[in-house]
Amino acid sequence: MSWTVIATWPFGETSVRAAQVLLAAGLPALDACIAGAQAVEDDPTVNSVGYGGLGDVTGRVTLDACVMDGKTLRCGAVAGVENVRHVAALARRVMEATKHVLLLGEGARDFAVSQGFPLDNLTTAKSVEQWEKTRPKPGDPPQRMPDPAADHDTVTVLARDSSGHLGGACSTSGLAHKLPGRVGDSPIIGQGLYVDDDAGAAGATGVGEESMRICGSHYIVEQLRRGISALDACVAAVARVNDAARRRGEPVGRIAFLALDRFGNPAAACTKTTGFRYAVARPTGVEILQAEEF
Ligand code: GLY
């Protein structure tokens, strides 16, 4: 049986290249997805994930992540964690070493320490400089919802392994200059990620609130369960996001969904102006694909 892995944004190429090594060696999809997320968490040039992520409105860098195993529906998540770089791996530890699904803030950091995760300064000279340059200044009009900078957002990695099982991981520092305490879609199972071997896998990237209003990833997986194609399921989720924006009378934010059906066929769709691209790796090679906007 063949394997496939997909990941958000052009920086997802780093993820799929890390993940494909494990998949080609016959390792489980979840291991591959976490390795893929971790490769981007370690990259200081990606300013929306892990090390080098941009801070909240006070400058604190807080990370969110979740993981899900499609075979067992086991999942784990952490939100608002400071000083821990590998939050996708930490989310897996929540899944494996506790009876819980989601740990928050200081509790998640204490748990990380108890599990031997090192504490780290997550800022770089460049991320501090960029935060200073872009942060709201006194007198600026109140910010409604900052958009993530073009092509910089959550890394979401979905894979089907050579045994036919699905896995997923996502990791982010969330929206730059978010309010302290704000939690987006990425650490919430069903919003930023959902994976079920019997149906498929889906994930989101962009302004998390847009996915949260429609339970985006779970919605897509439920469409896949009904036999709808991965592309049509992603397009249907974008249509729901657009409808939600129309109903509240606001412009729609930038959001993209990507999916893998249970046979490993990938697809993605996004709202207008998102300009979403994603990376795909299969035994035949690595590609960067452009999602259609709706
Ligand atoms: N999608 C990442 C966030 O909104 O926090």
The neighbour count for residue 249, using CB atoms within 10 Å, is: 6
Q: CA-to-CA distance for 207 and 124, rounded, in angstroms?
A: 24
Third-level CATH fold of 4-131+145-293: Glutamine Phosphoribosylpyrophosphate, subunit 1, domain 1 (3.60.20)
Write down the pLDDT at residue 150.
47
Atom index in ligand 1 nearest the CA of residue 182 equals 5
Non-local (6+) Cβ contacts of 191 within 8 A are 185, 204, 208, 211, 212, 215, 216, 217, 218
Write down the pLDDT at residue 137.
77
Quick one: tokens of 105? 């803030």
Q: What is the pLDDT confidence band of residue 1, given thresholds at 50, 70 and 90?
A: confident
Lowest-confidence segment of 1-5, 26-30, 267-271 by average pLDDT: 1-5
Catalytic option among 14, 123, 154, 271 = 154
The preferred substitution site among 172, 173, 214 for testing ligand 1, maximizing ligand atoms within 8 Å of CB, is: 172
> Mean per-residue pLDDT for 36-64?
95
Indicate the residue type of 222: E
Domain extents in the chain: 4-131+145-293
Write down the pLDDT at residue 74.
98
Ligand 1 centroid to 26 CA: how many Å? 31
Write down the pLDDT at residue 63.
97
Q: Directed axis angle between helix 105-114 and helix 87-97, to 10°? A: 80
Ligand 1 centroid to 54 CA: how many Å? 12
Report whether pLDDT(135) > 90: no
Write down the pLDDT at residue 142.
52
Taking the model in full, what pTM does it have? 0.96
> Mean per-residue pLDDT for 123-135?
91
The preferred substitution site among 9, 185, 213 for testing ligand 1, maximizing ligand atoms within 8 Å of CB, is: 185
Report whether pLDDT(110) > 60: yes
Residue 227 pairs with which residues in a beta bridge? none
Report whether pLDDT(148) > 60: no
Write down the pLDDT at residue 281.
98
Q: Which residues line ligand 1 (CB under 6 A)?
A: 153-154, 172, 174-175, 184-186, 205-208
Largest CA distance in the chain: 59
Q: What is the pLDDT confidence band of residue 245, given thresholds at 50, 70 and 90?
A: very high
H or E segment at 134? Answer: helix 125-134
Ligand 1 centroid to 22 CA: how many Å? 27
The preferred substitution site among 155, 173, 175 for testing ligand 1, maximizing ligand atoms within 8 Å of CB, is: 175
Mean pLDDT of the chain: 95
Question: Atom 1 in ligand 1: which residue has the minimum CA distance?
Answer: 208
Write down the pLDDT at residue 5.
98
Write down the pLDDT at residue 134.
86
Q: What is the pLDDT confidence band of residue 141, given thresholds at 50, 70 and 90?
A: low
Quick one: tokens of 27? 């390792």
> Mean per-residue pLDDT for 87-116?
98
CA distances in angstroms from 118 to 85, 124, 155, listed in the order given? 8, 17, 22
Ligand 1 centroid to 205 CA: how many Å? 6
Indicate the residue type of 44: P
38-47: pLDDT as tens digits: 999 999 999 9
Could you give the strand order of the β-sheet that contains 292-293, starting from the edge strand earlier in sequence? Answer: 193-196, 200-206, 255-261, 266-270, 292-293
64-87: pLDDT as tens digits: 999 999 999 999 999 999 999 999
> Mean per-residue pLDDT for 34-57?
95
Q: CA-to-CA distance for 73 and 70, rounded, in angstroms?
A: 5
> Mean per-residue pLDDT for 48-76?
96
Report whether pLDDT(145) > 50: no
CB 270 within 8 A of CB 3: no
Query: Comparing 143 with 4, which gets the higher pLDDT?
Result: 4
Ligand 1 centroid to 172 CA: how many Å? 7
Q: Is 284 a catalytic residue?
A: no
